[in-house]
Amino acid sequence: MQYQIIKREDFIVHRWSGGTTSEIFLFPPSSCWEKKDFQIRISSADCRVDGAPYSDFTGFTRHILPLRGSMHMFHEGHHEVLLNPFDVDIFDGSWNTHHIGKAVDFNLLYSENWTGRLKPLLQNESIKIEKSGIIGFYAVEDAEILSRDFSVEVPAGDFIVFNDINEATVFSIKAALHGPCVIAAAAFPKGSSHMRLSSMPVDEFCALTASDAPAPGGGSVSALCGSLAAALAEMVGNLTLGRRGCEDAQESIREALAELEEIRTILLKAIDEDSESFNGFMTALKMPKNTEEEKALRKTAMSQALKTASLVPLKVAGQSVRIFKFSRLMLERGNKNAATDAMVSALAARTAAIGALLNVRINLRSIHDPEFVRTTLEEVLRLETLTNEQEKEITEIGYQLLNQ
């Protein structure tokens, strides 16, 4: 695996109204920061002036974290957040942004054709890259970067980049520092399977959902709720196995656990499938519409993409409805100390199913296939009825148990 170590003395320094920025890495190499024709930019800024406006990077997404000092970020019309060292904020490069606080920060910037991740890594921590991307590591302290077939030492302040990753690769870190010792900055072309939403840390998934990026949205969040509903029911089952007083439930619990694991796996995959199907619709939406022929092709493509985008949440709803019988089983025959977990499982399954079906409903309004709309709407109504009935029954049983 090829890599390049960029020494800190080779960083390119730019001055701006709030201090200085050290440009660490620019991709492609022939691009220019001033022209904004790059795809990826990694940099570190020494911010000395409170309130200085950030440069306009319309068309780019920006990840930022403080290396030293704290930054109170203000995004006009969006959100504000206080970042302590190694906290990450993600925002659109077009926003009117400034911060209060003197700090040295670290930035990842990538164009709309890419996606990425900025993550502080501790000693012995690992990060997995699925494929097709660029990843770099900034050494906060002297560190050793290891993978399956190599290791390389990176002095403090230097940056190492791998830009030929074409297969799943796990990188791990060795260093003497107990806190964050390396900053991993990774970027990938959209459509590559580099970083599934389902593999994201919870805080990063929430931050991405909270941003003005159109995906992940309600569909992916519904799939996540469903996977958590299955996981909670599994937890109650595992707390029941081998428990005294639950001997007669052991076989049915084991069978339920196998089926719940299958449901959870399907719903985890659907987190990404929903966002990918939405991206397919956005691609159709951007088709040319200058002539009548182009307009007709675009309309057909959009309708077909919406069909695909409807089938994913319909699957999420169907799988979520399957969870109810297991939530009920765990409530009635499982570990009584975890009864409320079984109830939450049912509540989360309802949120997943109804949320997914809302996505189906809104898509059906723009699909120009009456038969598809009719049959799909019938299934939506069936699943909505089942969902509301099952969740109500399980909740009533749960409150009866709690009031005993």
> Is 228 or 291 the better-scoring residue by pLDDT?
228
Average pLDDT over residues 252-260: 94
- What ranges do the domains of the chain cover? 4-204, 214-402
> Looking at residues 349-368, what average pLDDT do you find?
93
CB 17 within 8 A of CB 25: no
DSSP state of 217: -
d(CA 102, CA 112): 30
The CATH code of domain 4-204 reads: 2.60.120.10
Q: Which comes out higher in pLDDT, residue 178 or 167?
A: 167
pTM, full prediction? 0.56
Judge whether residue 194 has pLDDT over 80: no
Question: What are phi and psi for residue 230, nearest 5 degrees?
Answer: -65, -40
pLDDT at 177: 64
Which has more confidence, 366 or 214? 366
User: Would strands 133-139 and 12-16 be described as parallel, antiparallel, or unpaired?
Assistant: unpaired
Q: Is 292 helix (H, G, I), strand (E, B) or coil?
A: helix
Residue 180, preceding peptide bond in cis (omega within 30° of 0): no
Confidence class for position 193, pLDDT limits 50, 70, 90: very low
Q: Which residue has the higher pLDDT, 354 or 77?
A: 354
Q: What confidence tier does 195 reach under pLDDT thresholds 50, 70, 90? A: low
Question: What's the pLDDT tens digit per position in 110-164?
Answer: 998 888 888 888 777 778 776 567 889 999 989 899 887 788 999 999 999 987 6
Judge whether 4-204 and 214-402 match in fold: no
Token digits for 32? 């220019």
Selecting from 1.20.120.680, 3.40.190.10, 1.10.150.120, 3.40.50.720, what CATH number does the domain 214-402 have? 1.20.120.680
Token pair 């656990």 is found at: 257
* Residue 138 to residue 274: CA distance in whole angstroms: 33
Residue 235, pLDDT score: 96
